[in-house]
Amino acid sequence: MVQGTSASLQIERLDGGCSGTSKGSASAMEDEKDENLDCLNQQSAGKPPRNIKMVRQYCSSSAFFTDFEILGLISPSTENSAFLPYFSLRKLDREGTKAVFDGHGGIDAASFTRKNILNFIFEDSQFPSGTKRAIKSAFVKADHALSDTKSIDSSSGTTALMALVLGRTMLVANAGDSRAVLGKRGRAIELSKDHKPSCASERTRIERLGGVIHDGYLNGQLSVARALGDWHIKGPKGSKSPLSSEPEVEEINLTEEDEFLILGCDGLWDVMSSQCAVTMVRKELMLHNDPEICSKALVTEALERNTCDNLTVLVICFSPDPPPKIEIPRNHRRRSISAEGLDRVKGILNN
């Protein structure tokens, strides 16, 4: 993504760890509040409470993490559930929304979407009975609002990745190339698709609507196939544009095997696989059980791998306890093969 003008933004973190940075800059901010003191006094060694409000340590130039509260919403599925994810907010447990907005062409579109997207969801007539449809509608409404807001430049745009938890149901909505990855007993489960112009399904849609892809860029200008804003590419409202603001929404039921969720912008996934990130986070959680340290570790690793984009990473845990050690039954132990043996098998297959 194209980085925007540098800015600092203070954001609170309620139940998860978040870290972000722009290459070449890092700013630290602190904001301790009295209402956190009780939680801090209850902290035990190795198991920091996850309901402590914390501020984000770094703010990138155009990628924002945000935390929302959902008040007064009770999912019917929570009534008789044997398992409920630990997802504590100030006034309501098991309910919450986390999001990452990766802006380009300045920070205006990302900041506007962060402030308004939840209102568009709640005010939609299909919410909460048709939450999926309400989320898709809200993305389009936010996109149109960016066009109508004269103070926002038409070249400003943003990707949007949201995870909404209602009881044990989680919905993940994505428009752009950020990614949501679920850690399920050590396995990486991708809950979103990177909307790159080079993706086969996106390429087909783009070309069908008259767009072109040049060197991996939509119309030679943008490295994503879906985004909010960017009205200099979309043209007049109502016209069919190859650049879509409609998100893809995935819905899953959380179980005891679902340990944590990673939300990250493309700066992370450009240099790291989903499985590598899950493996790193799980190992870190087993050591210290702190999602914030995990998110910082992912950012540090991405920087060491020379990522060329800005970074925002959020780790959200669904249990107050660290992940359990995975025991492999004796009769299911993995067998290894030497490099020489592997070469021999390849030779046999090739012949």
Task: Kindly give the pairing relationship between strand 157-166 and strand 95-104.
Answer: antiparallel
Instruction: State residue 306's pLDDT score.
Output: 96
Q: In this model, does residue 94 exceed pLDDT 60?
A: no
Mean pLDDT of 323-344: 75
Domain that holds residue 302: 12-350
Most confident of 23-27, 65-69, 260-264, 347-351: 260-264
Selection from 50, 96, 101 nearest residue 73 by Cα: 96
Q: Determine the number of helices (DSSP H) and then strands (DSSP E) in the chain.
A: 9, 15
Q: Is the pLDDT assigned to residue 301 strictly greater than 90?
A: yes
351 has a pLDDT exceeding 80: no
Two tokens, residue 146:
């960016």
Q: Cα dist. 251→75, 98, 133, 164, 241 in Å?
A: 14, 15, 12, 9, 27
* Within-domain flag for 126: yes
Supply the pTM of this predicted model.
Answer: 0.74
Amino acid 95: pLDDT: 57
pLDDT band at 328 (very low <50, low <70, confident <90, very high): confident
The answer to whether residue 70 scores a pLDDT higher than 60 is: no
- The model's confidence at residue 8, banded by pLDDT at 50, 70 and 90, is very low
Q: What is the mean pLDDT of residues 299-321?
A: 93
Task: Give the 3-state secondary structure of residue 119.
Answer: helix
Is residue 33, in this structure, part of any structural domain at all?
Answer: yes
On the question of pLDDT at 92 being above 50, the answer is no
Residue 318: inside a domain: yes
Higher confidence at residue 60 or residue 240?
Answer: 240
348 band by pLDDT with thresholds 50, 70 and 90: confident
Q: Judge whether 2 lies within some domain.
A: no
pLDDT computed for residue 332 by the predictor: 61
Is residue 339 in a domain? Answer: yes
Predicted pLDDT at 220: 95
Which comes out higher in pLDDT, residue 85 or 195? 195
- Above 90 in pLDDT, residue 18? no
Say which range, 71-80, 94-103, 187-196, has the weakest mean pLDDT.
71-80
- Give residue 167's pLDDT: 85
- 154 pLDDT band, cuts 50/70/90, is very high
Q: pLDDT grade, residue 345 (50/70/90)?
A: confident
Rg of the Cα atoms in the chain: 21
What's the rounded mean pLDDT across residues 83-112?
Answer: 71
Q: How many domains does the chain have?
A: 1
Strand, helix or coil for residue 294: helix
In a domain, 315, yes or no: yes
pLDDT, position 65:
56
Condensed to tens digits (0 to 9), the pLDDT of residues 98-116 reads 999 999 999 999 999 999 9
CA-CA distances (angstroms) from residue 133 to 33, 124, 247, 283? 37, 9, 10, 37
Q: Among the listed ranges 76-85, 182-191, 334-343, which one has the minimum average pLDDT value?
A: 76-85
Give the whole-angstrom CA distance, residue 117 versus residue 142.
6
Establish if 5 belongs to a structural domain.
Answer: no
Tell me the C-alpha distance between 284 and 290, whole Å. Answer: 8
Predicted local distance difference test score (pLDDT) of residue 64: 57
User: Residue 73 has what pLDDT?
Assistant: 35
- Rounded CA-CA distance 322/45 in Å is 13
Q: Is the pLDDT of residue 83 over 60?
A: no
Percent of the chain clearing pLDDT 90 (strictly above): 62
- Give yes or no for residue 176 having a pLDDT over 70: yes
Please report the pLDDT score of residue 63 as a whole number. 56
Using CA atoms, how far apart are residues 247 and 50, in angstroms rounded to an integer?
30
The CATH number that applies at residue 204 is: 3.60.40.10
